[in-house]
Structure 1
C-alpha cells in the first residue's frame, strides 16, 4: 500500500484545531480552535477567511438549517443565528469539563461529546441533543469523546473514545445507538484515533493524534489507505469543496513545545481524495 501526502490549505497557528465541517449553503469550511476559543471559516474558491471569538472554549461548530451555527461549548450547547446573535440551547456547566467533538446525525440532531480537561477516565459523555434542546445521554463514563459519524444508509454509527485506541460501531434504531462493538483497533506506536468522517463508499477516515497520518478503513474494518502528514497531531477530517472531493484536515500545536513541525495548527487538504457524503445541518 503506497502512502499519500496532503498539502497546505490555510496556514494557521491553532493551538487545537478541530472539527472541520463543510457548510454547503455558504460554500465554506468551518473549523474551530478549541483552546483559543475561535471559530474559523474558509472559502476555497475565493480564499476568504473569517475568525470569530467565542466566550468559552468551543469543541465544535456546525451549520444550522436556518443559518447560523450550533456550538458545543464548555458550559453547554449554544446557538448563533444568521446575524451571529447568541443564545443558549442547553446550559449545563460542570467544573473541569468542556465540550469536545460533535456531529449532526441524518435526522438533524446534534451528537455532542464532552471530556474533562485533565482527561480523567470516565469524566465525559456523549449526548444526543434534539433540535428542541431535549438531551438524551447516549454514552456515559467516556474519557475523551471524539469522532462520530454514520454509514451512508444511516444504519450504523461509528465512534471514537480516544484512549481506547478503537473505532467502535453501533446499530442505529431510531434515535438510539445499540450493540456497541469494536470495528478497528489502532496498534501501539501508530498514534491515537481522534476525529473521523465517512465517505460515500462507506469508508471511515480517521485522524491519528501523535501518528502524523490519516487512515481509511473499509466498513469491514480493513485498512486500505494511508495519508502521511507533515504534522504530528492531526485531529479530524472532513470532505468539502466542489463535489465534496477534497479532504480537509485540522491539526494541533498544543503539547509540542516551542518548536513544533512548521505546519502544526494549520488546515491541510488532500485534493481529490474521494467522494464525501452531503452533511446535514442542525435542525434547531
Structure 2
C-alpha cells in the first residue's frame, strides 16, 4: 500500500474526467471530460486553468508538435490549430460509437481507441493514425479500448481492453504492434483497468475503475505498489510537472449514486516516481 500524500490538483465535478497528459512546451497538464465535451488545461506552477468546449464528445486530447491539439472525438480524429481553428484529420462517423483513450507513439503517430456508448463487447477498435491522416486498423474488434503506453526502450507497447481485466503487452517495432500477450491481470473485486502510463523504470501504472486505486507493476508484471484513492472511479494517470515526478490522476463521477466529493477532480501524488518525456503528435 502507499501512504504517500495525495493532493487535489484541480477540484472539478467532471462527469468522465480522462486522459491526463503533460505538455512540456506549454508547461501544463491537459485532460478531458469526455461526456461534457471539454478539454481542460492546468498549469501547476501558476494555477492557471483553461477550458475548451469541443465539437463532440472527446475521448482524448494530446499536444501537437507545432502547437494546438489532436483530439479523439465521437466521429474521428480532429485537429485544433494554435489559433483555435478546427478541422478533421480522419472523419469516420459510426452511429453509437465514440472515441475513447489515445496515446502518441514515439514516432509521432496517434494510437486511438473507440468504444460503443452501449459498451457492447465487439463495438470498439484500436487504430494507428499517421500524421497525414492515414488510418491503419490494429485491433478491429475490442470492447472498450483504453490505456496505451510504450516501454522506455520503445520495444514494447502496453494496452488495456477494460472488460478483459488485463493489461496486455505487444512487441513493438516503431510502427507495428504484434504478439499480444497478457502482462497483468486485475482480480475480481479490485476494479477494472482503465488508463495507464509507463515510468522511466519501465513500470506500468494503471488506474482501476471501480477499484479506488492506482497500481504499479514492474516490467516483469509483478504488482509493486497500490495507491489507494478516495474516489471510486479513477480513470487514468500520467506523470507531469517540470521534472516529471508528480503523478496526476483523473477521475469520474458518472454512474455513481452518491459520488465522493472529489469524484471528477484531478488528483496528484507528488514525487511518485520518474516519468518519461512524451512525444507530441507529428501532424
Alignment of 1:164-183 (within 5 A): 164-183=164-183
Alignment of 1:153-172 (within 5 A): 153-172=153-172
User: What do the CA deviations read for 1:230-265 (whole angstroms, capped 9, x no partner)?
Assistant: 1000000000002001000000000002x3111000
Instruction: Assess if the C-alpha contact under 8 Å between 1:166 and 1:183 holds in 2.
Output: yes
Instruction: Report how many aligned residue pairs link the two structures.
Output: 283
C-alpha distance in 2 between matches for 1:193 and 1:76: 24
Alignment of 1:231-270 (within 5 A): 231-257=231-257, 259-270=258-269
Instruction: Assess if the C-alpha contact under 8 Å between 1:3 and 1:226 holds in 2.
Output: no
* Alpha-carbon distance, 1:78 to partner: 0.1
SS of 2:111 mapped into structure 1: strand
SS of 1:163 mapped into structure 2: helix
* Alpha-carbon distance, 1:5 to partner: 4.9
Report what 1:90 is aligned to: 90
C-alpha distance in 2 between matches for 1:7 and 1:36: 24
Report what 1:281 is aligned to: 280
C-alpha distance in 1 between matches for 2:207 and 2:10: 18
C-alpha distance in 1 between matches for 2:217 and 2:2: 15
**1:220 paired to 2:220:** yes
User: What do the CA deviations read for 1:60-82 (whole angstroms, capped 9, x no partner)?
Assistant: 00000000000000000000001
Report what 1:271 is aligned to: 270
Instruction: Assess if the C-alpha contact under 8 Å between 1:65 and 1:281 holds in 2.
Output: yes
Structure 1 ranges of 4+ moved more than 3 A = 1-5
User: What do the CA deviations read for 1:146-170 (whole angstroms, capped 9, x no partner)?
Assistant: 0000000100000000000000000
> TM-score, normalised to structure 1's length?
0.98
**1:19 paired to 2:28:** no
SS of 2:9 mapped into structure 1: strand
Report what 1:72 is aligned to: 72
Unaligned runs of 5+ in 1: none
Instruction: Assess if the C-alpha contact under 8 Å between 2:107 and 2:174 holds in 1.
Output: no
SS of 1:128 mapped into structure 2: strand
SS of 1:244 mapped into structure 2: coil
Computed over aligned residues only, the root mean square deviation of the Cα atoms, in angstroms, reads 0.8
